[in-house]
Structure 1
Amino acid sequence: MNKFISFLVLIFLLGCNSDKKSVDEKKRLDVFFTKSSDINLDKSLRLKYLDSIIHINEKIKNNDSLVIINYFKIANRFFMLLEYDRYKETTDKILELSRLNKDSVNMAKAEYYKGDYFFSTSQNDSAYYYYLAAEKKYEKTEDRVSLANTILHKAYILSYEKDFIGSESETIKVLSIAKTIGDDYLIYEAYTNLGSSLAGLENYEKALEYHKKALSQVDKLDDENYKPLLQAQALNNIGFAYLSSSNFKEASTFFSEGLKIENLKEIQPVLFSSLLDHYAYSRFKMNHKEGLKDFETALQVRDDINDVYGKINSRIHLTEYYLSKRDTAKALQFNQEANLLAKESSYNKEVLITLDFFTRLLPKQGLEYARAYIKLNDSLQNQERATRNKLARIAFETDEIIVEKEALSTQKKIILLTSLFIISLGVLLYIILYQRGKQKELLFEQEQQKVNEEIYTLMLKKQHEIDFARENEKLKIARDLHDNVLNKLASTRLNLFPLSKRQDEETIQKAIGQINGIINIESEIRLISHELAKEEFLNRNNFKTLVEELMENQKATYSVACEYDITDHEALENIGSAIKMHLYRIIQETLNNINKHANATKITVELYIQKEKLYLEIADNGVGFNVDKAKKGIGLKNIYMRTKEINGRIDVVSEKNKGTKITVKVRI
């Protein structure tokens, strides 16, 4: 007992230690996640914290959902640190785990993350493929926010690849979902992208309408810290639409409004420098002379933060500015810098703009630059067309794959249902056939029972006839003894009585004459003895006799040593006829089974009464059998059934190659 209590205490302590360890690891993870997100820490230190998180996460067992959640957090931090390769590596792990667990929700999220990786690394075709794959999975869930965000990123790619109509179509889907679920931020993003797509189609009037809707939508947002940035972005977009439509006055007004937002330079220097550069450019186009300072300030900010796209555009604007001032040297310097940066960064549209400026800045090489311009422009158009076709093909092939998968899934369902139907039909047929077999077996048993009863009835009838004949013989013998032998003995006694009184010659002669009478009496007694012998024969036809005859017949028929011992035969005759009949049949059936299956060389049968119980023991030295399996056979079933019908108990013991013993006990 003490050992058991000690064992329970040990288990409890181990469980406590395990729980404590889990809690400690969770606390460590929380601390490391917080540290890895701290923008005040050095990037290398934040990466070390992320490595520690990965190490802990890989040791978590039997909780894939927690592992996946942690991997998503890790991926987000790698993305914010611009560690795109490690971001992709982590996302691949999530995708692999999700596929193993058949977790379509996390698979969709991981594919969305992979789309972000390829979009951020300018691999738009791959990004489109993964966004599309994520979209198809999100369509089957209730997660409308993730679905809308995925479609929106597809729209961004289409807009980037100059497929403005496709981008507009996808963004309208996003707007519909966003309005249905009441997501104000998504509505803002949809309005913004619709404005940009329409501006790309040069439908500036509608573009301005949606950009202004986006500006109004900012007021509905809850995040007070984020609202100023979104407001500045909307003002910049409106100003740029006016600028693109050559309405420089309205453009400068909205750029100016954007620049009034407090601390914008510190919070979002990219957006600040864009507003300032656009403001300076719109005022330059309005022939204001004081725009140079704003151009230079915007350029300085962009150089400081290494905003490559901004650096190129600032230099292009300064090229145009100095060209208008006829300062060819300055204009050429900025244009060469812009051209070099654009080529290095694959900003081909900006390369075209610089080539156009070269034709004006270097007239002698104008034809050469013009040819380069035309060649690049044609190449860009072909590339854009090829990319749009590729994106359309990805969408088409993805839809085809989905249709094929659905068809395959339907086919599998049909095969499964057909298989289930066939199996069910087979099981039903088996049950019907089995039931019919059982019914036939039951009918056979009933018929056998009826035959057995008829046989025993005949046996009883025969026994009754034997008993009747025996009684008649007894009466006849009694009559013969009484009417004949006794009378003659009495007469002889009387005739011999005088001899006891006198022994004279005459008396002796008379006595001698009676000797013939005694001889006659002897003959009559002998005749009666013969009649009694016949009755003894009849006595042998009782239960004991039947069993003995069965055993002698066994000896005569089979070359197997057969021993039997039947005691208390008088008591046996007093038991019920049904018990006798069933015991006789059990012996008969058992001998039959031994002859057929046992390969025995010796059989022993004992029948005796002990403590008000009748015992029947049958043993052989044969090969034995599996009792559990043999119970299903008709022979052994009949033996069990007969024992049950006489309220007896049966015990069957069999051992391989050591023989079998059957014991039947019946209370009498």
Structure 2
Amino acid sequence: MAIELKDSSNLASSYWDLGSFYVDNEMVDSAYFHYNKASVLYSKIGKDFNSARMLLNMAILQKNVKDYTGSETTTAKAIEIIKPLGEHRQLYIGYNNLGILFNQLGEYDKALLYHKKAMESAQDLSDPILQANTLNNLGVVYENDGKYDKAIEIYRQALAVDSLFQKQTRLYAMLHDNLAYSQMKANPQKEVEPLFMYALNIRDSIHHQAGIVINKLHLSEYYLDRRDTAKAIKFASEAKKLARETRNFRDLLESMLLLSEMDTLRSNQYLSDYIQINDSLQREERAIRNKFARIRFETDEFIARNEYLNKEMKFIYAGSVAVLGVILLVFVNVYQRNRNKQLKLEQDQQISNEEIYNLLLVQQNKLEEGRHREKNRISKELHDGILGKLFGVRFMLESLHDKTDRQSIEAKKKYINDLRMIEEEVRNISHDLESDFFTQKESFLEILSDYLNNQQKAGHFELDFRNDENIEWDKLSSKIKINLFRIVQEAVNNVIKYAGADQIFLSFQKRKDSLEMKIQDNGKGFDITRNTRGIGIKNMKSRVKNLKGAWKISSGSEGTTITVNVPLK
């Protein structure tokens, strides 16, 4: 709408919102692109303060992907605009970014200089929380520079800020963690475990996951210094796990390095994982930095072109008013149109490239989802099929173990043959789990009857099996039959293992456009609210959902009933 109305102010605001949206969704290159668009538009319409705010957003993104030179240049450009305006809060953001940037580069004198400038802005704002935050940043610089006593002094000064715990709990916990770490570094014999644990408990209570990771890495170092390797490995492993879950790659790499030093048995594996992840991150950061450079280059080139064209047009108008005015005017107009078309094509190409990149990400996510579904399917096949059969055969072989009569020997041979069939089914699953479970030689009802007869002997229960003759099993899909068979297997296994029932009722009934299966026993039942978390119940639910059906389970002292309805169309 802003484009249609040629409303530059609202268009710039929309680009700003888009940039913030992409930051929230971790799409750094797109965020940078739209912040840059907003900055150029704001500058064009004379809103220099807003243009500078966009530059600060861009500078922070550059710093996060280690484009330190670009971040410094962009920040300096923003400060140059903001400083005459007396906007201390934005000045604070700029100086703070430069302080963090130079700290990461190891240029500690420059880092201290800019953090002290940030402190001046915080004092001009009379904001004690910003002052405490800057004191923490100063402490980190001193800590990284090995000046632990100075860092300790600064951290304590920050903790003295009034009501810091209530106003900024995260910062309060961070200061305690940093204070403990500097005290540990200054005096390795000092007992700082309570201070570390105090900070960790606060972070855990507010679910500050990034803070928890750093806290546990510090605790790991602490216990390593105390030669308590078991605790050191425990905290480093917990930090590694949480860092991976939250995609905190910086601290994930730190935890891997720490574990490679402590866990000698797995040191090579940790180092190999570290190198692989670090290389991948460097490639990604390099690619993003290149995109930033292209965006800046295209913007600068666009501005330079416009400036050049404006000068050229002025010169032409001044020198050819009398003779060549009309001809040159036509020429300039044609030339300008071609330029605009070319720029439009370049913009369209850039948008197309972004869409292709997003499609590649979506495709990768779908591949991961497919792998996850396949793992779940294999798990269900093994649990519902193989384990059930093995349980029945084992049960019968145990009952025949001490018997030596002819009939028992023949029965043993049969169950040994059943074991061979189970081996064959495992082999079939490994080759093709999607192959038809029911062959042309055996129908669904024959396979089900054989299974129920074997289980009836193993479980010593009476079976009442009823099948509606109107059901045309041969016309039903293999998907429906195999899932119903697995549900019966799981239900019967649960009856034998847990229910202590001596009667099982199983029926298949054709309804209007659906098939109803009911399994009922007279066992002792179970608490549905407490026991539905087992893998067997989950697998039954999953199979019904896979058939787009519905199910109901009820259980009590009189037994358990499971009813499944599956659509036939």
Task: Name the SS of the counterpart of 1:219 in structure 2.
Answer: helix
In the alignment, the residues of structure 1 paired with residue 324 and residue 168 of structure 2 have an alpha-carbon distance, to the nearest angstrom, of 64
What is the root-mean-square deviation of aligned Cα atoms in Å? Answer: 2.7
In the alignment, the residues of structure 2 paired with residue 142 and residue 420 of structure 1 have an alpha-carbon distance, to the nearest angstrom, of 32
Decide which of 180, 184, 205 is 1:304's aligned counterpart: 205
2:164 maps to 1:264: yes
Larger radius of gyration: 1
- How many angstroms does 1:217 deviate by? 2.4
2:186 maps to 1:282: no
How is 1:538-617 mapped onto 2 (pairs within 5 angstroms)? Answer: none
How is 1:348-363 mapped onto 2 (pairs within 5 angstroms)? Answer: 348-363=249-264
In the alignment, the residues of structure 2 paired with residue 396 and residue 215 of structure 1 have an alpha-carbon distance, to the nearest angstrom, of 34
How is 1:32-71 mapped onto 2 (pairs within 5 angstroms)? Answer: none
How is 1:94-109 mapped onto 2 (pairs within 5 angstroms)? Answer: 97-109=1-13
- How many angstroms does 1:421 deviate by? 5.2
In the alignment, the residues of structure 2 paired with residue 321 and residue 377 of structure 1 have an alpha-carbon distance, to the nearest angstrom, of 25
- How many angstroms does 1:380 deviate by? 2.3
Instruction: Determine the structure 2 residue equivalent to 1:343.
Output: 244
Q: CA contact under 8 A between 1:159 and 1:167: conserved in structure 2?
A: yes
In the alignment, the residues of structure 2 paired with residue 178 and residue 294 of structure 1 have an alpha-carbon distance, to the nearest angstrom, of 41
Instruction: Determine the structure 1 residue equivalent to 2:540.
Output: none
- How many angstroms does 1:378 deviate by? 2.4
- How many angstroms does 1:317 deviate by? 0.7
Decide which of 151, 166, 178 is 1:251's aligned counterpart: 151
In the alignment, the residues of structure 1 paired with residue 292 and residue 25 of structure 2 have an alpha-carbon distance, to the nearest angstrom, of 17
Cα offsets for 1:23-54 (capped at 9, x unmatched): xxxxxxxxxxxxxxxxxxxxxxxxxxxxxxxx
CA separation of 1:314/1:419 partners in 2, compared to 1, >3 Å: closer, same or farther? Answer: farther
- How many angstroms does 1:264 deviate by? 1.1
Decide which of 136, 148, 158 is 1:236's aligned counterpart: 136
Q: CA contact under 8 A between 2:8 and 2:45: conserved in structure 1?
A: no
- How many angstroms does 1:100 deviate by? 2.2
Q: Which amino acid counterpart does residue 268 of structure 1 have in structure 2?
A: Q
In the alignment, the residues of structure 1 paired with residue 73 and residue 310 of structure 2 have an alpha-carbon distance, to the nearest angstrom, of 31
Q: Which amino acid counterpart does residue 237 of structure 2 have in structure 1?
A: Q
Instruction: Determine the structure 1 residue equivalent to 2:32.
Output: 128
Instruction: Determine the structure 1 residue equivalent to 2:64.
Output: 160
Cα offsets for 1:321-347 (capped at 9, x unmatched): 111122222222211111111112222
In the alignment, the residues of structure 2 paired with residue 217 and residue 155 of structure 1 have an alpha-carbon distance, to the nearest angstrom, of 19
Task: Name the SS of the counterpart of 1:289 in structure 2.
Answer: coil
Q: CA contact under 8 A between 2:180 and 2:192: conserved in structure 1?
A: yes
Cα offsets for 1:274-314 (capped at 9, x unmatched): 11111111111112523211211111121122212111111
Decide which of 97, 112, 122 is 1:208's aligned counterpart: 112
Q: CA contact under 8 A between 2:52 and 2:78: conserved in structure 1?
A: yes
Report how many aligned residue pairs link the two structures. 322
Cα offsets for 1:154-174 (capped at 9, x unmatched): 110111011112111111112
- How many angstroms does 1:216 deviate by? 2.3
- How many angstroms does 1:270 deviate by? 1.4
In the alignment, the residues of structure 2 paired with residue 306 and residue 295 of structure 1 have an alpha-carbon distance, to the nearest angstrom, of 16
Task: Name the SS of the counterpart of 2:191 in structure 1.
Answer: helix
- How many angstroms does 1:379 deviate by? 2.4
- How many angstroms does 1:401 deviate by? 4.9
Instruction: Determine the structure 1 residue equivalent to 2:231.
Output: 330
Q: Which amino acid counterpart does residue 298 of structure 1 have in structure 2?
A: A
Q: Which amino acid counterpart does residue 320 of structure 1 have in structure 2?
A: E
Which portions of structure 1, spanning 4 or more consecutive aligned residues, are displaced by more than 6 angstroms?
404-415, 417-420
In the alignment, the residues of structure 2 paired with residue 410 and residue 130 of structure 1 have an alpha-carbon distance, to the nearest angstrom, of 28
2:233 maps to 1:294: no
Task: Name the SS of the counterpart of 1:139 in structure 2.
Answer: helix
In the alignment, the residues of structure 2 paired with residue 114 and residue 294 of structure 1 have an alpha-carbon distance, to the nearest angstrom, of 42
2:15 maps to 1:115: no
Larger RCO (CA under 8 A, 6+ residues apart) = 2
Q: Which amino acid counterpart does residue 101 of structure 2 have in structure 1?
A: S
Cα offsets for 1:137-180 (capped at 9, x unmatched): 11112222211111111110111011112111111112211212
Q: CA contact under 8 A between 1:168 and 1:198: conserved in structure 2?
A: no
In the alignment, the residues of structure 1 paired with residue 236 and residue 218 of structure 2 have an alpha-carbon distance, to the nearest angstrom, of 9
- How many angstroms does 1:186 deviate by? 2.0
2:169 maps to 1:169: no
In the alignment, the residues of structure 1 paired with residue 310 and residue 13 of structure 2 have an alpha-carbon distance, to the nearest angstrom, of 23
Instruction: Determine the structure 1 residue equivalent to 2:220.
Output: 319
- How many angstroms does 1:402 deviate by? 5.2
Q: Which amino acid counterpart does residue 355 of structure 1 have in structure 2?
A: M
With normalisation by structure 1, the TM-score equals: 0.45
In the alignment, the residues of structure 1 paired with residue 310 and residue 8 of structure 2 have an alpha-carbon distance, to the nearest angstrom, of 16
Decide which of 188, 200, 214 is 2:92's aligned counterpart: 188
Decide which of 148, 153, 161 is 2:52's aligned counterpart: 148
Q: Which amino acid counterpart does residue 299 of structure 1 have in structure 2?
A: L
Q: CA contact under 8 A between 1:164 and 1:200: conserved in structure 2?
A: no
Task: Name the SS of the counterpart of 1:309 in structure 2.
Answer: helix
Q: Which amino acid counterpart does residue 87 of structure 2 have in structure 1?
A: D
Once the two structures are overlaid, the 10-residue window that deviates more, 368-377 or 160-169, is: 368-377
Task: Name the SS of the counterpart of 2:106 in structure 1.
Answer: coil
- How many angstroms does 1:362 deviate by? 1.2
- How many angstroms does 1:381 deviate by? 2.3
Task: Name the SS of the counterpart of 2:124 in structure 1.
Answer: coil
Q: CA contact under 8 A between 2:62 and 2:68: conserved in structure 1?
A: yes
- How many angstroms does 1:412 deviate by? 11
In the alignment, the residues of structure 1 paired with residue 206 and residue 199 of structure 2 have an alpha-carbon distance, to the nearest angstrom, of 11
Q: Which amino acid counterpart does residue 367 of structure 1 have in structure 2?
A: N
Q: Which amino acid counterpart does residue 178 of structure 2 have in structure 1?
A: H
In the alignment, the residues of structure 2 paired with residue 271 and residue 115 of structure 1 have an alpha-carbon distance, to the nearest angstrom, of 27
In the alignment, the residues of structure 2 paired with residue 261 and residue 174 of structure 1 have an alpha-carbon distance, to the nearest angstrom, of 30
In the alignment, the residues of structure 2 paired with residue 248 and residue 335 of structure 1 have an alpha-carbon distance, to the nearest angstrom, of 23
With normalisation by structure 2, the TM-score equals: 0.53
Q: Which amino acid counterpart does residue 340 of structure 1 have in structure 2?
A: K
Q: Which amino acid counterpart does residue 272 of structure 1 have in structure 2?
A: Y
CA separation of 1:345/1:410 partners in 2, compared to 1, >3 Å: closer, same or farther? Answer: farther
- How many angstroms does 1:419 deviate by? 13
Q: CA contact under 8 A between 1:255 and 1:279: conserved in structure 2?
A: yes
In the alignment, the residues of structure 2 paired with residue 371 and residue 323 of structure 1 have an alpha-carbon distance, to the nearest angstrom, of 22
Task: Name the SS of the counterpart of 2:6 in structure 1.
Answer: coil
Task: Name the SS of the counterpart of 1:320 in structure 2.
Answer: helix
Q: Which amino acid counterpart does residue 393 of structure 1 have in structure 2?
A: R
Task: Name the SS of the counterpart of 2:44 in structure 1.
Answer: coil
Instruction: Determine the structure 2 residue equivalent to 1:487.
Output: none
In the alignment, the residues of structure 1 paired with residue 81 and residue 312 of structure 2 have an alpha-carbon distance, to the nearest angstrom, of 33
In the alignment, the residues of structure 2 paired with residue 210 and residue 412 of structure 1 have an alpha-carbon distance, to the nearest angstrom, of 45
- How many angstroms does 1:240 deviate by? 0.7
In the alignment, the residues of structure 2 paired with residue 404 and residue 307 of structure 1 have an alpha-carbon distance, to the nearest angstrom, of 48
How is 1:9-20 mapped onto 2 (pairs within 5 angstroms)? Answer: none
Q: Once the two structures are aligned, what percentage of the paired residues are identical?
A: 37
In the alignment, the residues of structure 2 paired with residue 127 and residue 247 of structure 1 have an alpha-carbon distance, to the nearest angstrom, of 38
How is 1:468-547 mapped onto 2 (pairs within 5 angstroms)? Answer: none
Task: Name the SS of the counterpart of 2:162 in structure 1.
Answer: coil
Q: Which amino acid counterpart does residue 7 of structure 2 have in structure 1?
A: D
- How many angstroms does 1:406 deviate by? 7.2
Q: Which amino acid counterpart does residue 345 of structure 1 have in structure 2?
A: T
How is 1:217-236 mapped onto 2 (pairs within 5 angstroms)? Answer: 217-221=121-125, 224=126, 227-236=127-136
Q: CA contact under 8 A between 2:200 and 2:215: conserved in structure 1?
A: yes
In the alignment, the residues of structure 2 paired with residue 409 and residue 260 of structure 1 have an alpha-carbon distance, to the nearest angstrom, of 59
- How many angstroms does 1:130 deviate by? 0.6
Q: CA contact under 8 A between 1:112 and 1:150: conserved in structure 2?
A: yes
Task: Name the SS of the counterpart of 1:290 in structure 2.
Answer: coil
